[in-house]
Structures are given as structure tokens and as C-alpha cells.
Structure 1
Amino acid sequence: MSLEDCADALRDHDPDRFGICLLAPAEARAKLMTLYALNLELARAPLASTEPLIAEMRLQWWIERLEDIGAGKPQSHELLTPLAEAWGPRAAGFAVLAEARRRDAARAPLDGPDAVVAYVRDTAVPLAQFAAEALDGATGGFAPPDPRGVFGKRKNTEVASVIAAQAEGVGLAHWLAALPALQGLGLGLWDAAPGALAQIAGHARAKLAEAKAQRRHVPRRLAPVLFPGAGVRAALQAAPRGIEALAGAAPSEFRRRLALGSFALTHRWWI
């Protein structure tokens, strides 16, 4: 998978993040595209088999290959090769993104809103932090992150806090938008009653409000990784009405492009 292949995969399956890559500085695109393409593959890996053991073995393969990159072992793989070229040993840290997907291999629904929040926090927040690292390294940097992907210097804790809150809020909205499909895969909720969905939407709104209140701490150069996409408001409004309402809340391609174009002009990411 060359960078062009990464771009094609994102354009087809993750258009919002593809748009982020287009808005990023040229020197950051290789890092962002390979990171987001890896995230796409990790999300798919546990769904490639209905047998939990085989699905988990697929994830373990990715973890071991990322560890190999960290150890400096050369890669000959369509995605891992450009990933290693873009990130070097730092790519070993991406194993946390794979670890967070292990529960998907079991095809077991989540047992309530708190479990959904924990799952989204584990999957969405580290990804946003790694993406911010890619952008920040391309523009001079304000502090190196620690090995877990969290910004290290005390003066940057405010920025890390905003990124985490925005990623969690947006991630929950995206999870709700995907819920009709997730239910069919066995990855939704045991009890997807409107009350539970309203609770998840309420938590998402609280995290988005937290990020908005601290938006002045975030350098403009990091705005692309905070871009929420076009469907967040619609998903949060539809959630209390149930899964059927969520199924009809997906934004059109026109709305997606309009949201990205508006963000490109204003860099306004908060909701």
C-alpha cells in the first residue's frame, strides 16, 4: 500500500480523515495518511473472521509487526513499509490502537453507556493524540509526547486535555451514527433502548462542550485533527429517538464536503 493506496482507502472508507490529510501541511501527510490507514486496517482486522480466536490472531499479527518496526526490523508490506518510513520506531506506540480493538474479536455487544464511553476513549483518544503529534512535528513542535502518546510537558497538558475531550465527544457521536450497522455485527449494545442512547449522547455533548470551553489553548496548526465532520450534530440529535432515527441521520456527500470546505476557510472545529 503506497501513500496513494492509503489515500484511496481513506477516500473510500474514511472521507472525513481523508479531508484532514488534504488540509495538513505537505510534510505531515505521509504520517497522517499511514496512521489513519493503519487505524482503518485495525478496525477491520477483528471483523475478518467470525471465529474469535482467528480474529484476535489477526490483531496480534499487527501488534507484532508494529513492535518489529520499533525494533528497527525492515518491513516488506504494502502498509507497514510506508508506515515505518514515515514514523520510524515511533510506530511501535501504535500497538495501543490494536490492543483497544481486542474486544471486537469476541463480537460481544457492550453492556451499557459506561462501557461505550470506555471503548471510545480507548480507541479514539490515542488516535487523535498521535495525529496531533504528526501535525505538530511538521510545524516545529511544542513538546514531544511520552511513549503512551500523551503530550509530555506540563505547559501542554491543556492542549492534551482539549484533544482528548474533543476526540471522545466526536468518537461517541460517530459510534452512535454507526450503531445500526454495529448492532448487526454484534458490536453494539445489549440494550440499545433510547434512554441508553440519550445517555451516551449526553456524555458526548459534555465532552464537546469541555473542548469548546478550552479551545483557546489549541494552536491553529492542530485544528485539523479536531475537525468533527458533518454528522456529529445529527447523530446526537437522533440518538434519543432510537436506532431507527440514527439510521436516517447520516449526512449526505454534499453536507460532508460543505463541512470540510467551511472548516478549511475558518479552522473552526468546536461545536
Structure 2
Amino acid sequence: MTLEACTELVRSGDPDRFGAVLVARPEDRPSLITLYALNLEIARAPFQSSEPMLAEMRLQWWIDRLAEMGMGKPPPLHDVLTPLWEVWGKDAGFAVPLAEARRRDCEREPLAGPDAVVDYVNDTAGQLMGLAAERLGTPAEARGVVADQALGAGLAAWLRALPRLQPWGLGLAHARPEDAIALAGIAQDTLHRAARSRRLLPRRATGALYPGPNVPQFLNGVLKGNINCFAQVPDITPFQRQASLAWLALTGRWWR
């Protein structure tokens, strides 16, 4: 039950966030690694059964353990929860809303339109980046900047995943290209707004704010109609990922 288990989980399951963790200060990395490992586990929980009720029971187990941790009760020995408790302590309870937001995934109900997608991304990617950035010293007055960055990055990631989400019933109720374009526009606008207010955020928070590789290029492609998000979207190559993370490490620029 060590930090190494969380590290390997994030390395294999979320390589973009793993790369960003390496940019963070060494003393901040355990907080990010354990949080991102938890996020992977609760995101996977609804898919561990095709029966919505069983899927929700699996998710509820995580919610209950996090709530208990928030009240000061240590979790049972576990590859993710034990290191999370050692690093976050009672603050792990702040992740309960992050887990609660995944109940929709258990239901396998598609989202009605762009507004519903924005709400979902705010509750998932937004909660996650908010917790990470606050842990890395982001002041209260900058939470709106983090929320903008999280929404833009989260929408871009959601649109990239859309070809896989649609068959699961977790995408959009209607495969309308104009909805994908609208979401790409919202993502671009919120990322630009966050970039304009970047001075409110400490450099220490860089590792929590990274949106992923090639986000501006991807969003531009969707907006111009060159990328159909309901079909196969372009893969991120290892070179693109490495180059993007190298730029982040070299410059500390989480914005573009």
C-alpha cells in the first residue's frame, strides 16, 4: 500500500497528468499522484458492471470510504486509499463531490446538449483541477481562473473521448456536429479567459493546470470543421506528448 502503486496507476492510465506531476515541486507530487490515482479509480468504477445498479454500488463504496476519511476515519488497507489518507488525511473528504458526479456514468444516459456537457465537465474535470490547484497554493480569489482552465481543458478531453463515449451511451443524445463545434468554442473561450488572468495564479500550481498536449490545435480543427468528434479523432503521438510536456517543464506556461 505505497505511493508507488498510485504512481504506476497514473503513469499508465493518465500519462498527460503524470507528465505534469513531474513539473510540480517534489514535495507537491504525492498530493497530485494520489489525487489523480483516486480520480482514475472512481472514473472506472461505473464501468466495472454493465448493470447500472451494480455499477452504482461499486461507486458508492468509494463515496462511503471518502466520506469516512473526511470524518477522520482511516480507510481499510488499499493500494490507492491508504496512500491518499497518508498524504491528504481528512482533506480526502473533499473528493466526495468528485465521486458523486460519476453517478451519471452508472446510469448510461447520454447528455442532452452542450449545457449538460458543461455541467458534467465542471463537476468532474473542474472538481479535480480545483482540488489539485488549491492543494498547490492557489488563493481563493483565483478559483474562477482555475474553473475556466479546467472547463476548457475538460471539454477538450471530453470531445477527444467522444467516439468512445457515444457507444456507451455517455456522449450526446444526438450526434449533431454543431453541438461539438459549440463545445469547442466554449473550451477555447474559457482557456483564453484563464490565460488572460494567469498572473493571479502561483507558479507552484503549474503542475495542476496543464490542459494536455495540442489542445489549441485540436479545438481549432473542430471549429473549422476539419475534425469530426463523432468519428475517430486524431491520436496524440508520443512525440507530441513529449514535446508539450517539455515545453511545460521549460517555460512553466500552462496557458497558450
Q: Same fold (TM over 0.5)?
A: yes
Q: Which moved more, 1:249-258 or 1:170-179?
A: 249-258
In structure 2, the gaps of 5 or more residues are none
Task: Give the corresponding residue for 1:249.
Answer: 234
Amino acid corresponding to residue 41 of structure 2 in structure 1:
E
Please tell me whether the aligned partners of residues 21 and 32 of structure 2 are also in contact (alpha carbons under 8 angstroms): yes
Q: Per-residue deviation at 1:71?
A: 2.1
Inter-partner Cα distance in structure 2 for 1:263 and 1:246: 30
Aligned pairs for 1:25-40 (under 5 A) are 25-40=25-40
Q: TM-score, normalised by structure 2?
A: 0.94
1:63-121, CA deviations, whole angstroms, 9 ceiling, x for partnerless residues?
A: 11011112222321121111001000010110010011110101111111111011001
Aligned pairs for 1:110-125 (under 5 A) are 110-125=111-126
Task: Give the corresponding residue for 2:132.
Answer: 131
* Residue 89 (1) aligns with residue 72 (2): no
Inter-partner Cα distance in structure 1 for 2:74 and 2:233: 46
Runs of 4+ in 1 over 4 A off after TM superposition: none
Please tell me whether the aligned partners of residues 9 and 37 of structure 1 are also in contact (alpha carbons under 8 angstroms): yes
* Residue 171 (1) aligns with residue 145 (2): no
Q: TM-score, normalised by structure 1?
A: 0.89
Task: Give the corresponding residue for 1:200.
Answer: 183
* Residue 220 (1) aligns with residue 220 (2): no
In structure 1, the gaps of 5 or more residues are 137-141, 144-150, 152-156
1:158-208, CA deviations, whole angstroms, 9 ceiling, x for partnerless residues?
A: x11111100000100000001011112111111122111001101111111
Residue from 142, 157, 163 that aligns with 1:180: 163
Inter-partner Cα distance in structure 2 for 1:183 and 1:132: 31
Inter-partner Cα distance in structure 2 for 1:233 and 1:105: 31
Inter-partner Cα distance in structure 2 for 1:177 and 1:231: 11
Q: Taking CA–CA contacts closer than 8 Å with sequence separation of 6 or more, which of the two structures ends up with the larger relative contact order? A: 2
